[in-house]
A and B are shown apart, each in its own frame.
Chain A
Amino acid sequence: MTFDLETAASPKGLRRVAIDPVSRVEGHGKVTILLDDQHRVKQVRLHIVEFRGFEKFIEGRPYWEVPVMVQRLCGICPVSHHLAASKAMDLIVGAVPVTASATKIRRLMHYGQIMQSHALHFFHLSSPDLLFGFDSDVARRNIVGVAMAYPDIAKKGVLLRKFGQEVIRATAGKRVHGTGSVPGGVNKHVSRADRDALRKDLPQMLEWAQDAVNLARQLHMQDAAMHDSFGSFRSNMLSLVRADGAMDLYDGVLRARDASGRLILDGASDQGYLDLIEEEVRPWSYMKFPHLRALGPEKGWYRVGPLARVQNCDFIPTPLAEAQRQEFVAWGGGEPVHATLAYHWARMVEALHAVEVIGELLDDPDILSGGLMVTGTRRSEGVGVIEAPRGTLIHHYTVGADDLVTMCNLIVSTTHNNQAMNEAVRSVAREYLDGVEITEGLLNRIEVAIRAYDPCLSCATHALGRMPLKVALLGDGGEVIDHIARSSTGEIVRDLAARVRVDG
């Protein structure tokens, strides 16, 4: 099976172009577009090189090392990997459930990560596009431009992120390479001094988080037609929710809704994810395409992340975010909101929720005292699922009698969104590609669509002006009609003589 514009109907005369920019970070993105002789778009693909060798990196290590080592898989959301691995290893050591203190300290760590990640994305990665428009001057379309036009926004973004990082430090032990969460619990309480310092700053953070969600909502509504249609498509949505249907980003059961909002999966244990989710391999991409096994690859693919979570849950269990969620849901007029750009609005609803949860947990005496660790009957297999900033993150391990990991399977958020990101790019290509000349505005629109998902590939999507995204247009005969790329300094380079590697 294939999707519209995924594979050209008549491949004769068309060739697949792969451009691989050199990268030293986790991966890279590339977009290929094939045209016929009328310059009609025939094929669009977003290729992302997935994290390579993750499983092999982990297999053979002692299980107790894993929650620390997995942080090195990704420099962007190490805390999410730290906690997902810890949850899986809780099962290995029979620590089910962990203590109340351990659960709350981990939750505090996790919501700190959600907050700082969402703040960075909105204030520093996306706000230039949202505030100035996709076709604004490149030099203006960066955070410096934002800082000049909206002086408070850049500062709020830095300080919100700093606060989230401090929450992580207070719970994980260090700002990076944290060791706080271990199989069976956590290894330290939050200190009273750290708790007091965070509480002191909380009211300001809450105010700024409210400002942020209001800004995101206003930006969406002030150009509603564009925001609702840009890169838009209908899809299923998947996330964890609490057993009672509340939003829960740390733990819960799996729930999925179809494009009309009807439940198609609910209350499913995350331990059985392999019975629910299947990953399809397609020959043109390194990254797999997950889908709900019962529906198959054509109808079973889904979106994860803020857009899914805000609409999958029945309610958000904190008052300010719940009020914002209701406004968000009302925007759909009885149907789910499918707009790609609505991810930004949903993300800020979650950021506000995260600050509220942090406030509740800072008031909870269990983070200062109480049992930290439990043990139980040793098991050989464990699955840990968490809602990372970008979506559902699955860690699955088996461990031998010698305590060494014998199998590791990870499905990261970006993989869940693989089909969705491809659909978003194709939607943008249909609407904006003129077929002959690639403009900087087109490049930026492609980036905007990808960036809305906040995929965890640092150089693939978060490098406005530096994103190693090259676009080539080929004619039926394989000739290069146009080739445009950005240099490392953000300079736009159009070079028809550039070397283009052609596969097949």
Chain B
Amino acid sequence: MIAPLLVFGWGNLSRGDDALGPLFVLRLRERLGAAQTRVDFLDDYQLQVEHALDLRGRERVLFVDCSVRCAAPFEVTALEPARDATFTTHAMSPAAVLHVYREMEHREPPPCTVLEIHGERFELGTEPSGAALAALESAVDWGERWVRGAVTAGEGEEPPVLRGVQQVVKVG
């Protein structure tokens, strides 16, 4: 049985703020509790081609990463498949993963959103900064609403996701 929602964070737990992606997965899983079955949680060091297969059978997918480019505390972007230059790298973009899905499955991927949490320090062996952890907490609050938006769709609460890859919500 495939869970309808997937939360996928990536990064390295031992490289300072780069840990925000997997830490988001950990924190959101804790908040939602072990009993819930509607959400799958996955994490990895980097996105790669095979992660396209993790999108199969999903209703919605949330990708979570740390970013130096986004505004603090986090930004949310609706994703579309894109043939960007990361196809031949060891660190694909989420849009490129969606494109692999479309090529593999010959269908459009499920609605996908990327949540970028602002970070600045990435040295090996360092902990996430205080500012990054504060941003993480705000992002987890948003992530909880993203999940609840699916669970309680009939209640009228909409997660703040915009449509179109160029549209960005700046939070904070």
Partners in one complex: yes
Contacts of A53 in B (CB 8 A): 123-125
B18, A24: Cβ atoms closer than 8 Å: yes
* Shortest Cβ gap from B46 to chain A (Å): 5
The docked-state distance in angstroms from the alpha carbon of A462 to that of B52 is 19
User: Chain A contact residues: over half helix, strand or loop, or mixed?
Assistant: helix
Number of interface residues, chain A, beta carbon within 8 A:
42
Given contacts A24-B68, A53-B124, A72-B15, contact A490 B89 (CB under 8 A): no
Contacts of A489 in B (CB 8 A): 84-85
What 0/1 readout, one digit per residue, does chain B (36-69) give for beta carbons within 8 Å of chain A? 0000001111101110110000000000000010
* Shortest Cβ gap from A404 to chain B (Å): 15
B84, A458: Cβ atoms closer than 8 Å: no
Given contacts A24-B122, A142-B88, contact A161 B48 (CB under 8 A): yes
B88, A465: Cβ atoms closer than 8 Å: yes
Is A382's beta carbon under 8 Å from chain B? no
Query: Which residue of the partner chain, among B13, B18, B50, contacts A162 with CB atoms under 8 Å?
Result: B50
Contacts of A154 in B (CB 8 A): 100, 103-104
Number of interface residues, chain B, beta carbon within 8 A:
33
Q: Report the nearest B residue to A144, measured CB to CB.
A: B83
Is A155's beta carbon under 8 Å from chain B? yes
* Shortest Cβ gap from A145 to chain B (Å): 9
What 0/1 readout, one digit per residue, does chain B (83-96) give for beta carbons within 8 Å of chain A? 11111111100000
Query: Which residue of the partner chain, among A52, A165, A177, A458, contacts B91 with CB atoms under 8 Å?
Result: A458
What 0/1 readout, one digit per residue, does chain A (150-171) give for beta carbons within 8 Å of chain B? 0000110110011001000000
B14, A158: Cβ atoms closer than 8 Å: no
Q: Report the nearest B residue to A139, measured CB to CB.
A: B83
* Shortest Cβ gap from A56 to chain B (Å): 7
Contacts of A120 in B (CB 8 A): 48-49, 90
A52, B85: Cβ atoms closer than 8 Å: no
* Shortest Cβ gap from B60 to chain A (Å): 22
The docked-state distance in angstroms from the alpha carbon of A93 to that of B42 is 33
Q: Report the nearest A residue to B19, measured CB to CB.
A: A72
The docked-state distance in angstroms from the alpha carbon of A167 to that of B12 is 22
Q: Report the nearest A residue to B10, measured CB to CB.
A: A75
Contacts of A24 in B (CB 8 A): 18, 68, 122
What 0/1 readout, one digit per residue, does chain A (27-62) give for beta carbons within 8 Å of chain B? 000000000000000000000000111101100000
The docked-state distance in angstroms from the alpha carbon of A252 to that of B123 is 35
The docked-state distance in angstroms from the alpha carbon of A459 to that of B45 is 14
A464, B89: Cβ atoms closer than 8 Å: yes
Contacts of A128 in B (CB 8 A): 88
The docked-state distance in angstroms from the alpha carbon of A162 to that of B50 is 6
Contacts of A78 in B (CB 8 A): 45
A124, B49: Cβ atoms closer than 8 Å: yes
Is B99's beta carbon under 8 Å from chain A? yes
Interface residues of A in 357-412 (CB under 8 A from B): none
A52, B124: Cβ atoms closer than 8 Å: yes
Contacts of B45 in A (CB 8 A): 75-76, 78, 176
The docked-state distance in angstroms from the alpha carbon of A437 to that of B50 is 39
B46, A458: Cβ atoms closer than 8 Å: yes
Contacts of A488 in B (CB 8 A): 85
A72, B14: Cβ atoms closer than 8 Å: yes
Query: Which residue of the partner chain, among A75, A144, A465, contacts B99 with CB atoms under 8 Å?
Result: A144
Is A73's beta carbon under 8 Å from chain B? yes
Given contacts A465-B88, A466-B89, contact A162 B53 (CB under 8 A): yes
Q: Report the nearest B residue to A75, measured CB to CB.
A: B45
Contacts of B99 in A (CB 8 A): 144
With most chain A CB atoms within 10 A of its CB, the pick from B46, B49, B52, B99 is: B49
Interface residues of B in 93-152 (CB under 8 A from A): 99-100, 103-104, 122-125
List the 4 shortest-distance A-B pairs measured between CB atoms, nearest first: A75-B45, A490-B85, A465-B85, A458-B90
> A54-B124, A125-B88 are known contacts; what are 19 more A-B pairs with Cβ within 8 Å?
A24-B68, A53-B125, A57-B14, A76-B46, A120-B48, A120-B49, A125-B90, A128-B88, A154-B104, A155-B103, A155-B104, A157-B49, A158-B49, A158-B100, A161-B48, A458-B46, A459-B89, A465-B85, A489-B85
Report 25 cross-chain contacts, Cβ distance below 8 Å, ordered by A residue: A57-B14, A57-B125, A72-B124, A73-B124, A120-B48, A120-B90, A124-B87, A125-B90, A128-B88, A142-B87, A143-B49, A143-B87, A144-B83, A154-B103, A155-B104, A158-B52, A161-B50, A175-B42, A463-B85, A463-B90, A464-B85, A466-B86, A466-B89, A488-B85, A489-B84
